[in-house]
Structure 1
Amino acid sequence: MTDVQTTLMLIDGELVEAASGKTLDSLNPATEEVIGRIPAGDKVDVDRAVVAATRAQLEWANTEISHRAERLRAVAARVAERAEEILRLEVLDTGNTITKMRGDVGMGIKVLEYYAGLGLELKGSTIPASQSNLHFSLREPYGVVGRIIPFNHPIMFALSRMAAPLMAGNAIIIKPPESSSLSAGILAEICRDELPPGLVNIITGLGTVAGDAIVRHPEVKRLAFIGSVPTGLAIQKAAAEVSVKHVSLELGGKNPMLIFPDIDPEVAATAAVSAMNFAWQGQSCGSCSRLLVHESLYDEVLKRIVEKTERLVIGDPLDPDSQMGPMNSRMQLDKVEHYVRTAHEDGARLMTGGERPPGAQFERGYWHQPTIFADVTPEMRIGHEEIFGPVLSVFRWKDEDEAIRIANSTEYGLTAAIWTNDLNAATRCIRRIKAGYVWVNGFSAHHLGTPFGGMGNSGLGREEGIEELLSYTETKTVHLALN
């Protein structure tokens, strides 16, 4: 039996319960056991947080860049000190495997330190528009910004996505995911100790309540969200009903991996299984969930993928030997099971998986086997709709034009991977594929300083580089008359 952890929110430098006194249970997705309780924040809590953030932001914007950097590095250092504690809690709360989640904590620290060093890039420019004036631009922070975090990488996204807004001089209100908020309690303690009161506020609760209150608050002029397309559309609509806001969205993906005939089948199969991110149960927006294999390699690559997938170790996410854990929630499991049924109805060929793993240890919890469907076409629902689960759809293609048509046959355009040793073919595909982030002979890796974001319905805006920092500022143009 796991101890039940009670967390608190952070508002105006204080750790507090929800004003209503209500809480939400946090369940271990491996066992469905209650492992924590989080405050169910609502509009009252958000209003208080905005007041505190507005006050704190004015002082923060007037601090030296070097001081902002110092405070971000202090937060990073405190996270590093508590990394093992955060890691264990994050694994219990999300179901993600501990080996991969260790990288999440480290990446959050690394991004804080990265943006701490970018402050001097918050510069404007001079424009020689006339000889009688000095024309120049300045960058100023928005003020109070809102950040809504997804359930698949809670601590990593909370840390990494508060870095640019703070460095740019904003205050921030963070809304953690309702199904995986326990690590946010530790982050609240760290921010309380290392940052001015009100600069960072953390409000837990339902997205339809606390999240909606943040989106609709007229004093929150800049919003950022990572999650599904339907929720992103709802955020855009709700925000526009209140006031003009700058909204950036990093939404879903149905990402293609193209395998050309010059790639070794073993290399292709290894890459395909790794790129599905089974260690996150496929719950990763960048997962290459559509595998497009040239017909000359199709049967051999498919055979090897099935063999490798069936060797994956499904088990306790806290066990370093586990290669895949449970889905994050009942809702996510139901969604995966729904899409498996539609795949059968649409005529896809099940190669492996497709159900709950056998064994008494998997009778409770949100478990699902890694699943491979072959002979998938773009018209099938698993061929063009995002599942966000451990289901790989394998397509066959004959010529490059057909491969590009399949790759671009969805509403999404987040990532793509191209596997070929032919530089000309790779270059053609880079230009023709609708995706904001493309790997050639690679997958999944994110590199600091390179802008990440999607095309089509995969989102608006770019993160993880200088563009993200600048996106948290507004440009002010000045014309200074010369005597």
Structure 2
Amino acid sequence: MGPTLDSSYEDWVRVAEGVVPPGRHRVGGREEDGAGAVFAVVSPRDGSTLASVADAGEKEVDLAVAAARWAFDSGPWPRLAPAERGRVLLRIADLVEEHRSEIAALISLENGKPIAESYGIELRAVAGTFRWYGQLADKVCDEAPHTDPGALALVTREPAGVVGAVVPWNFPLTLAAWKIAPALAAGCAVVLKPSELTPLSALLLGRLVDEAMEEAGVPGGVLNVVAGDGPTAGRALGLHPDVDVLAFTGSTAVGRHYLRYSADSNLKRVWLELGGKSPNIVLPDAPDLDAAAATAAWGIFFNQGEMCTAPSRLLVHSSVAERVTDAVIQRAEALRVGDPLDPATEMGALAGAARLDAVRGHIDAARAAGARLRTGGAPLDPAPVPGGTYLRPTVFDRVTPDMAVAREEIFGPVLSVLTFDTVEEAVALANDTEYGLAAGLWTGDLSTAHTVSRALRAGTVWVNCYEEGDLTVPFGGYKQSGNGRDKSAHALEKYTELKTTWIQL
């Protein structure tokens, strides 16, 4: 099973050194080199090249979609009893757990996040997602509405077909599992395109899914994984006429491209989980202001701030702003930024040099606009691992709502503190954004908790907590944070079609 979070730093380094990164597409249950073009996957941990990976173009995407099309149209997968599909998903969960240490090390190497998060959070979520949908697969019932006594009406839920899934680098397998597991449970076939920054863990997951399918006697092609960039492989998948559904997680700007691809091809359904600029409101009657501050710091610096739901706008009542801000800064300065392979590390490396440069550009712009830098704002010198991309946790106050630092998604460990004097002002500030993915609220008043939660235009509102929940609840956004929902039974709606059959008796 490999090391766990109780294991030593040296144990994890040995695992990382022993991992053989996959570098070939998985199409139709086999590894494929494609046309021979490759790209390098560089580790943000130390700047080293982890692997050369086959680079998918239109030809490779065509082959992957053809394999998925065959698996859906002619293969047994959509025609298996739901309980049988569920058992395969449960086997995938088992295989993920069996390879948990290896996959976690690979994620930390290609993404830069701490091994405590890769192993303890991401891989737990991945296995849990496949297990949850495996258990759900045979528990979604069709309908027989009460209608005229001379007729029988049936409403059946059928798999939508071939699903294209395009996922980002910040949670490379969690977000993939949120799409793959419900799509497979519904009976669909999938073509997954991971980010070109983090394809290795996805290719390994593809191998495990093929293994589970083979054990069940299901031919390859139910899940295919092709690595490549968005303008080439992603575009080819979005435009492909044999893709029935496209599920994307990433930036709002790229999400617009997928809507255009749909309009320019077969009008495939496009489901988008996009950016965020989430507010975290702290009222003076919060049950525990210290807990609110600690959670605010954890939320923005978790996963290096590379999170669409990151509470990047801290809205604090002016009467407690100084106390809360000082406590957040204290937490930020005590945070252990270090080698992603060290179990003691609390914040790892940003996902590459380009990401580090982009975040530093936002920091420079905030200072020029008049925001006050309270802590951080610069790379660690020396870096915890030479060649890596490490940034100090950063906090700005004296931020005004018109500043770019309060409006644009930075996708890094940068917190903006804004103040307000009334609840109404707090709600107006929170909703003054093009995004609507998530929000936090800290209050000890039950009525305020309900009324403010209703007033916030966000897909998820956390009250006296942040980033809590499980697979029973849906996840998705309002406004330019996207449409549709991942997680929960509601996710099946994205990968199924409703058919009405009316039988005259």
Q: Same fold (TM over 0.5)?
A: yes
**Which residue of 303, 309, 312 corresponds with 2:326?**
303
State the alpha-carbon separation in 2 of the partners of residues 191 and 270 from structure 1: 39
Residue in 2 that maps onto 1:480: 503
TM-score normalized by the length of structure 2: 0.92
Q: More displaced, 383-392 or 231-240?
A: 231-240
Match of 1:96 among 113, 124, 137: 113
Q: Which of the residues 27, 31, 34 maps onto 1:11?
A: 27
Secondary structure in 2 matching 1:189? helix
- Cα offset, 1:360, TM superposition: 5.3
| Alpha-carbon distance between aligned partners in 2 of 1:425 and 1:319, rounded to the nearest angstrom | 42
Q: Deviations over 1:162-212 (max 9, x none)?
A: 110011010000001110111122212212222231111001111111111
Q: Give the Cα–Cα distance (whole angstroms) in 1 for the partners of residues 262 and 47 of structure 2.
A: 35
- Supply the AA of the counterpart residue of 2:211: D
Q: Secondary structure of 2:435's match?
A: coil
Deviations 1:227-273 (A, max 9, x none): 11001111111121101111111111100111010134322211110
The one-letter code sitting in structure 1 at the alignment partner of 2:142 is G
CA drift of 1:2 comes to 5.7
Instruction: Give the Å deviation of 1:62.
Output: 1.0
Specify the alignment match of 1:289 in structure 2: 312
One-letter amino acid of the counterpart of residue 270, structure 1: A
Q: Find the aligned partners of 1:363 and 1:36 in 2 and give their Cα distance.
A: 19
**Aligned residues: percent identity?**
36
Instruction: Report the more deviating stretch, 182-191 or 358-367.
Output: 358-367
Q: Which SS does the other structure have where 2:447 is aligned?
A: helix
Does 2:197 correspond to 1:179? Answer: yes
How far has the Cα of 1:438 moved from its partner?
Answer: 0.7
Contact 1:254 1:288 in 2 (8 A): yes
Q: Distance in 2 between the 1:414 and 1:76 partners?
A: 28
State the match for 1:132 in structure 2.
150
Aligned to 2:261: 238
- Indicate the residue corresponding to 2:96 in structure 1: 79
Q: Which amino acid aligns with 1:318?
A: L
**Equivalent in 283, 286, 294 of residue 260 of structure 1:** 283
Mapped to 2, the partners of 1:221 and 1:159 lie a distance apart of: 19
CA contact 2:109–2:340 (8 Å) conserved in 1: yes
Q: What are the residue-to-residue correspondences of 1:113-128 with 2, within 5 Å?
A: 113-128=131-146
Post-superposition shift, 1:425? 1.1
Aligned to 1:273: 297
**Counterpart-to-counterpart distance in 2, 1:105 and 1:416:** 25
Aligned residues: 480
Among 344, 352, 356, the alignment partner of 1:333 is 356
Deviation at 1:409, TM superposition (A): 0.7
The alignment partner of 1:480 has SS state of strand
- Contact conserved, 2:297 with 2:332, CA < 8 A, in 1? yes
Which of 467, 471, 484 is equivalent to 1:461? 484
2-side partners of 1:180 and 1:470: how far apart? 28
Q: Which amino acid aligns with 2:42?
A: L
Q: Give the Cα separation in 1 of the matches to 2:408 and 2:458.
A: 16
The SS at the match of 1:5 is: coil
| Match 1:28 to one of 31, 38, 43 | 43
SS in 2 for 1:194: helix
Alpha-carbon distance between aligned partners in 2 of 1:190 and 1:438, rounded to the nearest angstrom: 35
Q: Which amino acid aligns with 2:148?
A: S
1:408 aligns with 2:431: yes
- Match of 1:281, SS? helix
Alpha-carbon distance in structure 1 between the residues aligned to 2:290 and 2:250: 33
Deviation of the 1:156 alpha carbon: 1.9
SS, match of residue 147 in structure 1: strand
Instruction: Tell me if the contact between 1:168 and 1:470 (Cα under 8 Å) persists in the aligned partners.
Output: no
Residues 446-475 of structure 1 show CA distances to partners (whole Å, capped at 9, x for unaligned) of: 311101100010010011011101321101
Are 1:2 and 1:35, in contact at CA under 8 Å, matched by a contact in 2? no
Distance 1:66 1:5 in 2: 33
In 1, Cα distance between the equivalents of 2:61 and 2:96?
25
Gaps of 5+ in 2: 1-15, 214-218
Query: Superposition RMSD on alpha carbons, in Å?
Result: 1.5
What is the Cα deviation at residue 293 of structure 1? 0.5
Measure the CA separation in 1 of the matches of 2:365 and 2:325: 21
Deviates more, 1:247-256 or 1:150-159: 150-159
| Structure 1 contact 15–188 (Cα < 8 Å) conserved | no
Residues 409, 243 of structure 1: alpha-carbon distance in 2 compared, 3 angstrom cutoff: same
Is the 1:426–1:440 contact (alpha carbons within 8 Å) kept by the matching residues of 2? yes
Q: Specify the alignment match of 1:41 in structure 2.
A: 56
CA spacing shift, 1:229–1:25, aligned 2, 3 Å: same
Question: Mean alpha-carbon deviation: is it higher for 195-204 or for 51-60?
Answer: 51-60
Q: Would the aligned equivalents of 1:109 and 1:160 in 2 still touch at CA under 8 Å?
A: no
Cα distance in 2 for partners of 1:74, 1:248 equals 27
Change (3 A) 1:122 1:348: same
Retained in 1: the 8 A contact 2:383–2:389?
A: no
Q: Which residue of 2 aligns with 1:144?
A: 162
Segments of structure 1 that go 5 or more residues without pairing to the other structure are none
Q: Summarize the Cα distance change of 1:363–1:194 in structure 2 as closer, same or farther, 3 Å threshold.
A: closer
Further displaced range: 377-386 or 53-62: 53-62
2:3 alignment partner in structure 1: none
2:237 equivalent in structure 1: 214
User: Which amino acid in structure 1 is aligned with residue 209 of structure 2?
Assistant: C
Shift of 1:123: 2.8
Q: Which amino acid aligns with 1:159?
A: A
Do the aligned residues in 2 keep the contact of 1:97 with 1:279 (CA within 8 Å)?
no
Distance in 2, matches of 1:158 and 1:73, equals: 16
Which of the numbers 166, 180, 185 marks the counterpart of 1:162? 180
Q: CA deviation at 1:91?
A: 0.5
> Which residue in the other structure is 1:389 paired with?
412
Please name the residue that 2:125 is paired with. 107
Q: Is the 8 A contact 2:165 2:193 kept in 1?
A: yes
Q: In structure 2, how many angstroms separate the alpha carbons of the residues matched to 1:185 and 1:451?
A: 27
What letter corresponds to residue 291 of structure 1 in structure 2?
L
CA deviation profile, 1:339-394 (whole Å, cap 9, x unmatched): 10110121111000111112254663222111000011110001111101000000
Question: What is the rounded CA distance, in whole Å, between the counterparts of 2:192 and 2:483 in structure 1?
Answer: 19
Question: Which shifted more, 445-454 or 359-368?
Answer: 359-368
Letter of the 2:56 partner, please give it: G
**CA distance in structure 2 between the aligned counterparts of 1:104 and 1:469, rounded to whole angstroms:** 22
